[in-house]
Each structure stands twice: as C-alpha cells, then as structure tokens.
A and B are shown apart, each in its own frame.
Chain A
C-alpha cells in the first residue's frame, strides 16, 4: 500500500463556525436583517409551505414587489451545522409526524417522499430533473386512461427551460425523449452504478442519458461549488452543489423582501364572511396560535399536507372541506412505481460513490402497443447507503441473522437500478382525516392506496426490464424490492369544477383568492421525477398572479388569459450569456 495522508495538512477540519473548510465561496443569508411582518399586518400573499413550489413562489412574488410571507412548519436550515453525512443522523430532514397509511397496497411516507424545513423535499430529493413528455398532458385522449391536463406541454415548456437554468440542471447536450432538448451544464462523470446501466443498455441497444439530467452542479457557478461525488444527496447536500430552493430561490426571496417564517405549522385557512380567505391560523414552535392576515393564500404543502389542511379548514359553506365542492380534495393521490432491482457482480461496484441520480433511460416511457399495459416507465441509477440497502435485503429477500450479515458483506458487489413507473390516478386513492391527532391536536392524515391492474403490469414490466439490463451488464444474481417513489395529486387541476379542485393556474374553483401550487395539483404524473415540474408550475402560477395584479385581491373574476413569461424575475445570474453590443 502506498503511503497515505493520515490526516489533512494543517490538522482536522475545524469546527463549523469557521468558514475555512467551506468549498468555494458561499452565499450568506442574514435572517436578522430579513423583512418582518406582524401577524396583523395585511400582507398580499401567505404561502403555506416553503418547499419546491413555495420557495419559487416566494421568490417570484417578492421580486415582483408583493408583500409575501412564507410559513414553513420546519426549521430554517443552517446546512453546515444542521446536516451530516450520515443516514440515521439525517432523519430530521423528513416529515416525520404521524400519518396513518392503509389500503390494499399501502404507501410508506416520510423519508422517501416528504420534506420538512425550508427547501422542503428539494432538500432530500436525489434531484433527477426530467421533464414530462408532451403525451403526459393528454393521456385520456391518447390512451383512454386517467385524465387530460387543462394545460399542455407548450404552456409549461418555457418554465421548464427557465427552471433548468435557475437550478441549474446538468445533463447531456441532447436529450432524445419527449420534446428533445439539451442542458446548459455538462453531464457528470459516471459512478459504478452508471457504468452498469450503460454497459447493460449498450448490450441491448437501449439509449441512455448519461450524467444527468440532474440538478447538481457539474461546475461551480456564482457562489455555489460543484459536486464532490460523496453520494449523500438524499441526506441533504452540505456542499451546496445540489439544487434546493433553500439555495436557489429562498435567498433571493429574502433579498427581495419576502419573510420566511420557520417553525410555523398552519392549522387552518380562515374564510371571511364575504366567502374569501382572509388569512391563516398557525402554531409557532411553542404551540401558541397566531393568525396571519393576507389578501390571498397559496397552499404549497404537497400531496398529503395540502389536502389535510383544506379538509381541516372546513367551515360553514365549506362543510366537506375548503374548496371541496367537487369532493376531489384528497382524491386521485398518486405515487410512482419505485422498485429497486439489484444485480450482483463478481467485480466491485461501490454504489455509494457519485450522486445516486446520474444516468437514466426513458426508452420505455411511452405507450407501446406491443405491451399489455398503457403508459410506461423509466430506468434510473440509484445508490442506497448501508441502512437502506439492508432494508432492501430484509424486505425483498427476507434476509435476517447470519444471512443478512453475509449479504451485507457483499454490499460493494451489488448494483441497483431504480424503476420509475407511472401509476394512474384513481379516485379511491386518497387522503382523509383520521380520528387520531398530532402533537398540536390537529387530526392527522389517513392515506389509502390501492394498485390497479395497469399499475401492476407497469411495475412488473419495469422490473423485468431492469433485470434484463443488469444481466446484460454481467449480473450473476438479481432480485427486486417493490416500493414506491414520490407523491403527487390529491388536489388536481382541471377544466371542470365538478371533478377538479383548481383551474390551470392553481386557483381553487370555490374561493377566488385561495390557490394551491405544489405537486398535489398534478392530474397525472408520467414516469418523470416530479420536482422540476412542480417548480415549473410554481413559476407559471407566479407569472399568472403577477399579470393579474390587484384583481386577485379585489375581484372574483376568473381570467384565464396566459401570462407573459417573465424571465427577468429569475434569480440574479441565471441569464448572462455571451455579451451582445447594444445599439448595433
């Protein structure tokens, strides 16, 4: 063995109150200098939940000059002090409050799909950022399943392009599926899992997108350093290379005058005697109740907490829950098939290196008449760390005792692949209020989930394909774990007030100054990770609200005129490009 550096030159990395070991320059957020509103100040917008959508909304609306308060149930992270490179030590990034889960194929919640704290789920996402395909917006017309969106791919495309630059997304110069496009930041180098995906797909003549699309910096940008390939993406990126709204949008929101109020758990959206919302009630970290007045409210709590809040806000005139005259609040909840298929290789893979998300194929995304199902799936790299991997061995192989010890000693020989498959929206997959209450005395969410035949066939086909790819790459043994990934739906947008909760801009059909903007508005989900779409929808809703101006606060009129795309509202540094000479 060569002689190794036994420790860093100059000694151990110093305590975190020193800036010495930070990678590259870092932006600083001064919360003391942040604009503050009193509860009885009448602000323009209260945004409930400062996650993927809420972070973008706060940034856009504040930059446009509105008075904005973002209420976040969790903390405002100080990443260097609060986050660790440790699976169990990262438990606090997730929404860990009690939820009851049932149905014939129950979802698990928390670590896999629900964030808490400023940045929300974008703090712990693996940050794959594929766009939806144009077909995703019209699955009913094309395949007779699910429902069409009230908007088209063309409506969202400018916002995909914007957010891909704002995060920004690293990936290949040419991405061939859906609406083909390229990425401005270069692709990442492959880790061992990406090697296996590439080798297997090459042998089977399947196209692969290598090195992205993923919202992780492949080169430093402004005040953010590039990826160091340590593999702890879903434990929160201490480096700051992975995009979360905590680093991409919230600092600019604050600089533009928004207040982000952490440890504020909203308990009720309050409706006034005129039938319009007048603010929200929330609990601070000590359980004291407050009321923040607002001229409009946007609920951005994601697919479980958003319907939970609307249902808990039932009041005279809205007995079945706020904005629920359709009965659709909480219904059509979706998760994606998220099976992990593992192949064992004679040579080591070391799956823990490189971002878990760094290569994928969407070659099986679209409906194929040769299949016995409609819609499809993607195959993606994943990188479970030891505790997650042990749980896969337990769930999928029944490993225990000496058998578990033996399997785990082979951790470095396994390469996983993630199946990401489309599950269709079903009315009975839903969020309701349980009889149990949480630590605040608020009724917790009950989540019921059942798979249908098409969903099961997508799942089986995706798993079979992943096994085929791993075997083509040389795997000598394979197994698969059935699981889910992501959550969307449960407050879907639509064209018909009788079957949807919000219109195509996120405005509830029932209350003109109440909006929903997060993953819960998605009517279907495709086989794309939802994070980019959620942020793109938020930027589009923000442009709409800005174009509507004061009428949101003063009028019940529903104007469906598409807004102009406001590229100038992107955070500073997004659009630079080659300088052009003025006046030529």
Chain B
C-alpha cells in the first residue's frame, strides 16, 4: 500500500515500514472495556452493546452523498491502521443524528440548520475541486483531497465556493463536521480501548483514583513510536489554534 488512501497505515519511525493492521491500535494491548460489561448496570450495557451490534442504517444521506461523506470520514478520522472489520462505522452514527434531527441545543446565527450545512459543504467541496482540477471532489486523487481539506481546516478555502462560505463561516462548518465525526468515533468502546479510557463503572466504581494508577482490570500503557502515513497533512497538530477572523475558537462540550 502506498502512502495514501483510506487503507494507508502509520509507519514505524525507524524502518519506515507500514505497521500491520491491528484489531486494536494504541498503547493498551489487550484492554477491552466490553470485557467488563457484566459489571455495568443493564441500562448502560444495553446502550453500549446496541451501539456496537446494531449499527444504524443510512437514512439521512442520499446514495449519491454517501461516498463523499465516507471519504470525508476517511480523511478527517482515518482508520487505515484498523482491520477492516474493526473500523468504527462513523458515517452511520453521524447519519443517525442528522436523520433523528438531534441538535446540541443551539445553532450559531451565522449557520444554517445542521443537515443543510452538511449539504452546502458538499456543494462547496465539489465546486472547489472543479475550479482547481476540473473534477468533483471524489475525482481528485487522495493527496489533492487531503490538501483541499487542509485548506478548509486552515480556514483558507480554495477558490470556487465563495458564495457557500459567505453563507456559513468555513471554521464553523469544519467544527461541526469534525465534532460530529469525533463524537461518533470516541463514543465507541473500541476507541475507549485504543486510548485506555476505563469506560462505564457503575455500580462497581473505581478504586484506584490517584496518580494515574490502573485498576486491576485495566492495562498499563505500552507505548510505541509511529509516524502518520506518507502524504498525511493532519499530523502533527498545531501547538495552539489561531483564532479565525477575530473569533476565538470556542469549545462546545461541557466540563464545568
């Protein structure tokens, strides 16, 4: 596999060789939150198991939109390091939110409703691609797609869709899509295993609170060094995000 595409895998820093696909990437080999499910209350068990077993079918995106949205997911939250059957079906969870009309309790006055924002964004992707390369977004090669998306991430969109970005600020669109994709991925127990999050703990609770100690059923970290696939523009991250056009990058989810 060359360095680009949805199946591109991270590489070993020393050898430059692609790492083999894993059922579970990350630094906590063998850690499985789902193995603890008998210790969870039944309401939590039901919700988490449903998420894994009953992947919602696509209802919001049209058949024509699905490949484009899937391509966005592959760039914005790549899973090439995961065995195909262990990839989180981000698109389906995201689609389910939009189909159900669930919103977070607000809409920025500068933004259209969420579903409309997605579709406007799709139009913009195709128009920017046509203007630059004479092809729709899916017709671009992987590296060009990545470059176009990096430009959106930087709030410096390629020419061709100025009317769309005058209707909704590009940084708000990026935050919407990126937030939805991240919420879908990191709500999944396979992602919890990857990052070493202990997951649900009622009614048993946690007993080792202090100094980052692992519970008896958790796994200590075993780090390895990896670099992103060749051509990936998303790594490393910025040290601090630059405010866009005077608007500070405001977070959305609550901690206090």
Contacts and interface: CB of A to CB of B under 8 A. Distances in A.
Contacts of A380: 256
A98 B255 contact: no
B253 A112 contact: yes
Interface stretch (B15-23, B58-66, B104-112, B133-141): B104-112
A109 B201 contact: no
20 contacts: A12-B38, A15-B42, A16-B41, A84-B200, A99-B107, A102-B109, A104-B246, A111-B253, A124-B254, A191-B210, A232-B202, A347-B212, A382-B256, A390-B186, A391-B251, A397-B239, A399-B234, A401-B228, A479-B240, A481-B249
Contacts of A75: none
B195 A110 contact: no
Contacts of A382: 255-256
Nearest to A479: B240
A561 B107 CA distance: 44
Contacts of B43: 16, 80-84
B256 A126 contact: yes
Contact of B233 (A11, A105, A353, A401): A401
A15 B38 CA distance: 11
Contact of A405 (B38, B77, B109): B77
B252 A400 contact: no
Interface residues of B, number: 89
Contacts of B27: 409
Contacts of A349: 212
A152 interface: no
A353 to B, nearest CB: 5
Given A106-B109, A382-B256, A85 B104 contact: no
A289 interface: no
Contacts of A409: 25-27, 194-195
A407 interface: yes
Nearest to B252: A108
Contact of A403 (B39, B198, B237, B242): B237
Contact of B186 (A108, A387, A483): A387
Nearest to B217: A4
A396 B205 contact: no
Interface string B215-256: 011000100001011001111111111100011111111111
5 tightest A-B CB contacts, nearest first: A110-B105, A401-B234, A228-B205, A112-B254, A348-B212
B47 interface: yes
Nearest to A192: B212
A348 B210 contact: no
A401 B256 contact: no
A2 B239 CA distance: 40
Given A340-B255, A399-B237, 4 more contacts: A83-B43, A113-B254, A348-B221, A412-B196
B197 A352 contact: yes
A396 B212 contact: no
Contacts of A91: 102
A4 B77 contact: no
B200 A398 contact: no
A191 B208 CA distance: 8
Interface in A479-508: 479-485
Given A99-B106, A388-B253, A446-B109, A85 B40 contact: yes
B75 interface: yes
A301 B10 CA distance: 51
Interface in A98-135: 98-102, 104-114, 124, 126, 128
Interface in B167-221: 175, 178-179, 182-183, 185-187, 191-192, 194-214, 216-217, 221
Contact of B42 (A13, A23, A396, A529): A13
A8 B253 contact: no
Contact of A394 (B175, B214, B240): B175
B37 interface: yes
Contacts of B196: 350, 411-412
Contacts of A416: 255
B76 interface: yes
Contacts of B238: 397-398
A22 B35 CA distance: 21
A338 interface: yes
B78 interface: yes
Given A102-B110, A409-B27, A353 B197 contact: no
B147 interface: no
B187 A87 contact: yes
A356 interface: yes
B44 interface: yes
Contact of B256 (A23, A338, A352): A338
A456 to B, nearest CB: 9
B228 A402 contact: yes
B103 interface: yes
B47 A86 contact: yes
A33 interface: no
A390 B256 contact: no
Given A85-B44, A396-B249, A484-B250, A406 B178 contact: no
A23 B27 CA distance: 34
A408 interface: yes
A88 B187 contact: yes
B255 A354 contact: no
Nearest to B234: A401
B206 A128 contact: no
B192 to A, nearest CB: 7
A105 B254 CA distance: 17
Contact of B197 (A7, A112, A386, A397): A386
Nearest to A411: B195
A473 B27 CA distance: 24
Contacts of B42: 13-16
B194 A230 contact: no
A110 to B, nearest CB: 2
